[in-house]
Amino acid sequence: MPALVSKSLRDHRRSLVRWTIGIGAFFALYLSFYPNISQNQDLYGDAALAKFPGAMRDLMGGLEGFTTGTGYLHGVVYQLFGPMLFVVCAAVLGNQAIARPEESGTLELTVTLPIDRRRLVFERFAALALGLLGVAAATFLLAWGLSVATDMGVAFDRILAAHTGVFLLGLLFGALSLAVGAAAGRRGPAMAVVGVVAVGGYIVETMGKNVDAVSWLRWVSPFHYYLDGKPLYQGFPGGDYLVLAGAAAVLLVVAILAFDRRDIGV
């Protein structure tokens, strides 16, 4: 493993452990409620949840089949909260790659070393991807184990498909944070852009199914390529996931070019 990648992972190990524990605790808390949900059709069945405002149901993925294992796992973990946790985690890691050390003044020392700028950005991104993959792997095993323990009846490959999508979505936003940080050199703009794209993209994807005025924007929302394929129900949406991976790669190239051409005061 390249020295810069391993160093970045060592520097971020405490953050990665905290994110793993935090996301894992969220999964454990909400998945532990499933037995109670599945046994209360009067409160959580389709007829009861149909009374919720349509906009609220759209934002929560429709809440269809909420008392089934697949429906509950989709609505609680893989529709909104799980993806957003991974997006924030990846954005923070992306900020720690370039923008944070530049603001603190330590990046200037790094770039004076015999390390090509393009290699620096690429290896920082590689560390981001590996760190996020570690968080995804640990939380996937936890989600699958809890689904078995609570008798959800969701197949292993369907949970793997959904978790792969969450990882790719997070990776895209991590690359976006890295690219903005590499271009601006500050953490604030990077987090602001990630926040706007994430929140706006999610609203467009969920509300756009029923609002014609914004439906065309779904095709530019990263969440469309994660949610539209319904991985928990249909398995791996290969084409959509390739779009997410391709977009992350494009943003990495943007980050490399932006940082390579920018004067950081060295």
Tokens representing 246? 């391709």
**In the prediction, which pLDDT does 266 show?**
45
Side chain identity at 8, as an amino acid letter?
Answer: S
Residue 105, C-beta contacts closer than 8 angstroms, at least 6 positions apart? none
Give pTM, 2 decimals.
Answer: 0.91
Q: What is the pLDDT of residue 62?
A: 59
Locate tokens 């949900």: which residue?
37
pLDDT at 46: 62
pLDDT of residue 109: 64
The mean predicted confidence, pLDDT, of the chain is: 87
pLDDT the model gives residue 39: 79
| Residue 46 in tokens | 């389709």
Domain regions of the chain by residue span: 3-33+79-261
Those residues of the chain that have pLDDT short of 70 are 42-63, 108-114, 264-266
Query: Tell me: the pLDDT tens digits for 164-195?
Result: 999 999 999 999 999 999 998 888 999 999 99
Q: What does the DSSP 8-state code read for residue 219?
A: G
User: Residue 79 carries which side chain, given as an amino acid letter?
Assistant: Q
